[in-house]
Amino acid sequence: MELDLVKVDAIVDEYKGEQGLLISILQDIQSEFNYLPKEALFRVSEKLELPIGQVFSVVTFFKAFSLKPRGRNIINVCMGTACHVKGATNILDKMKRDLGIVEGGTTSDLRFTLDTVRCVGCCSLGPVVVVNEDTHGRATQEQIPKILDNYQ
């Protein structure tokens, strides 16, 4: 599938003349494509007259950026101490089984990407699963199918 570089150009052009907005541009491109295609990064490098190494160093430094296609729904299972003690490992294992993917993986239909985070700041609600912007506290293995169904 050919990447629509017109969209990339439009995103970069929105920031024309503003300095230091590489991260914002990359965030917007990732929002558009759900990851950062390499062709888009080369175009950003070209349009901003930045070395491609500088663009890639920013992309690889921040965990929020992805060079691989991600699912429409990003699942983060909190593995912080409080969630871990309350069974987050079991929640993660159930998610992996139900989705048929490993941690860091994406379903073949690009519906879900499964990842972990160290803490989401809701320790009293552990174990916590965050899907996109929705926080699901006191999650149990039995609730996982229902949580996933909400995002089908």
pLDDT digits (tens, 9 = 90+) for 88-102: 999 999 999 999 999
When pLDDT is cut at 50, 70 and 90, the band that residue 65 belongs to is very high
User: Exposed (0-12), middle (13-18) or buried (19+): which is 45, by Cβ within 10 Å?
Assistant: middle
E strands, the chain, in order: 73-78, 112-117, 129-131, 134-136
pLDDT digits (tens, 9 = 90+) for 11-29: 999 998 777 799 999 999 9
Residue whose pair of structure tokens reads 């230091």 in the numeric block: 20
Tell which residue, 34, 29, 64, has the closest CA to residue 21: 29
pLDDT digits (tens, 9 = 90+) for 124-138: 999 999 999 999 999
Between the CA atoms of 101, 105, 110 and 115, what dihedral angle is there, to the nearest 10 degrees?
Answer: 110
The pLDDT assigned to 2 comes to 72
The pLDDT assigned to 1 comes to 57
Contact between 117 and 79 under an 8 Å Cβ cutoff? The reply is: yes
The pLDDT assigned to 75 comes to 97
Identity of the residue numbered 119: C
76 DSSP 8-state letter: E
CA–CA separation, 45 and 48 (whole Å): 5
The pLDDT assigned to 16 comes to 84
